[in-house]
Structure 1
Amino acid sequence: MTPALEAIGLQVRLGPRPVLQGIDLRIATGRWTAIAGPNGAGKTTLLKALAHLVPAEGGLHLLGRPAAQWKHRERARALAWLGQNETGAEDLRARDVVLLGRLPHQPWLGGATADDLARAEAAMRETQCWDWRERPLGELSGGERQRVLLARALVVGAPLLLMDEPLANLDPPHQADWMAIVRRHVAGGGTAVSVLHELTMALQADDLVVMDRGRVVHHGACGEPATHEALAAVFGRRIRVHPLAGRWVALPESIDP
């Protein structure tokens, strides 16, 4: 099967400093892939490079085509992005923020259609933020804001969903809701890639990319012992992966489940 995303010798520099160092990576279609690793490992930069949001050297393919061959609007319909600590649009109503996700589908100066409005409502109900659709984004709490931004990503209707720290400010019940949304997206044939600091949540994905110092040190299924070993290694063996209630959890080495 053609990979959803593929990087070949991917390199990114921020000023004089190399951040990504020759990464080769194939993200499988129809699966949820999580990216984890210590602070400064290059996780966010890798996700941005895969989304074509930062200048990069090397090969990058999106749905089997070189990224450079995609027109901007075409790529915006194929790939939805949820960034970390996004700012701006503080005065826009929550529903109008979500409707921004429909812009790649609209003609120039065409405005929102009835279909766009219906899709926005469905996305906001799915993320449980419809009740404050008339409130300005700047008046929302961190968790409320995050659910609006997730709805904006979902309303694009893109097969690829890339999310950087999507669980920021979400309480545990809404984290579980987020995971259910990702699972529905994948079950429908979509692909999800997420950078997560919450290691136990990352281990609920299908596959895990483990990073350290600008390199991918392991890429494998979340249930594989080699994946657990790689995760423990990049954190200096200060954490260990345990089975618990049918799932994998990452705990500090000094704590037994």
Structure 2
Amino acid sequence: MTATFTSLSLEMRLEPTDLKLADGAFVALVGPNGSGKTSLLHAMAGIAGDATARTIDGEPVPQGQPARRARLIGLMPANRALAWPIPVRDLLSLSPVPVDPERVASLVKRLELTDLIDRPANALSTGERARVFLARTLASRPRLLLLDEPLANLDPYWALSIVDLLREEARGGTMIVTAMHDFALARRFDRMLLMHEGRLALDGPSSETMRKERFANIFRLAPEGEGWRPA
């Protein structure tokens, strides 16, 4: 089964973009700041912009119908701000669809949230909130996960652990698109989308894409040993 997005666009910020994702797609979305990564995720989620067609497993993604959309698409925004003191336990249960308590319990254990479960979510560190928001996004088992900088503000252990968790979800058939800046972590993804000035500049296997001259030029970098330097 696949997800298909045809002529995604967002006025003045995202050029018309066509994408197709297969079952288990494990995709890193990269690009300089302001290149259109968040705009693309929002257009795919249908919360902004237009599309000629947006289907998942052959089913049109509905406008409205929050419960059905939650089964098809889970979006984790980059903003970790939370104004109200809702306990983590209650935040994990907030969903337009019923969530499986065993699924939530498994995520709480995997993401080591047990000691945080009764704390107000707005009192957590940014990294702790990132783990909580990821657990909430995963809880309803959406077919497509759109994650905006889920690894930001995480220490190396948690960044690597969450990439491993996401890969396990992909192996189960979930389609995953993850916006990020860390090249070392991006190499762990099967496919890479490179955004530049509101358009999709490169699309291919991560390791091959990162070796292309255009990749380096867009980021204004030059290879240096195993890493990079400003060009």
TM over 0.5: yes
With over 3 angstroms needed to count, the CA separation of the structure-2 counterparts of 1:57 and 1:31, relative to structure 1, is closer
Between the aligned partners of 2:98 and 2:21, the Cα distance in structure 1 is 26
Question: Secondary structure of the residue that 1:233 maps to in structure 2?
Answer: helix
Asked if 1:56 is matched to 2:70, the reply is no
Name the counterpart of 2:114: 130
1:109-160, Cα deviation, whole Å (9 max, x unpaired): xxxxxxx333222111111112110000111111111111111011112222
Deviates more, 1:182-191 or 1:55-64: 55-64
In structure 2, what is the equivalent of residue 120 of structure 1?
104
For 1:180-215, what per-residue CA distance to the aligned partner results, in whole angstroms no more than 9, with x for missing partners?
111110111211110001122112100000110110
| Contact map agreement 1:232 1:241 (CA 8 A) in 2 | no
Q: Work out whether 1:3 is the aligned partner of 2:7.
A: no
- Aligned partners of 1:20, 1:218: CA distance in 2, in Å? 15
Measured in 2, the distance between the counterparts of 1:88 and 1:171 equals: 21
Counterpart of 1:143 (choices 127, 144, 164) is: 127
Query: Structure 2, unaligned stretches of length 5 or more?
Result: none
1:104 is matched with: 97
* Aligned positions, number: 230
Contact 2:62–2:68, Cα closer than 8 Å, also in 1? no
The answer for the alignment partner of 2:197 in structure 1 is 213
Q: CA deviation at 1:253?
A: 5.3
Q: 1:113 — aligned with what?
A: none
Give me the whole-angstrom Cα distance separating, in 2, the residues matched to 1:52 and 1:170. 28
Q: CA deviation at 1:97?
A: 0.7
Q: Is the 8 A contact 2:77 2:147 kept in 1?
A: yes
Alignment check: 8 A CA contact 1:7 1:26 kept: yes
Matched, 1:84 2:45: no
Measured in 1, the distance between the counterparts of 2:6 and 2:38 equals 18
Q: TM-score w.r.t. structure 1 length? A: 0.82
- Helix, strand or coil for the counterpart of 2:200? strand
Task: Give the number of the structure whose alpha-carbon radius of gyration is greater.
Answer: 1
Identity of aligned residues (%): 31
Cα pair 1:89 1:97 within 8 Å, conserved? no
Q: What pairs up with 1:36-75 in 2 under 5 angstroms? A: 36-68=30-62, 71-75=65-69
Corresponding residue for residue 223 of structure 2: 240
Q: Is the 8 A contact 2:62 2:69 kept in 1?
A: no
Partner of 2:229: 252
Deviation at residue 69 of structure 1 after TM alignment: 7.2
**TM-aligned CA deviation for residue 227 of structure 1:** 4.6
Letter in 2 for 1:7: F
Q: Which amino acid aligns with 1:3?
A: T
The answer to whether the 8 Å contact 2:191/2:205 transfers is: yes
> Secondary structure at the residue paired with 1:88?
coil
**Corresponding letter in the other structure for 1:138:** N
Classify 1:25/1:93 alpha carbon distance in 2 versus 1 (closer, same or farther; 3 Å): same
2:147 match = 163
* Pairwise CA distance, 1:77: 1.4
- C-alpha contact 1:79 1:158 (8 A) present in aligned 2: yes
Q: Please, what TM-score do these two structures have when normalized by structure 2?
A: 0.90
Asked whether the equivalents of residues 95 and 120 of structure 1 are also in contact (C-alpha less than 8 Å), the reply is: no
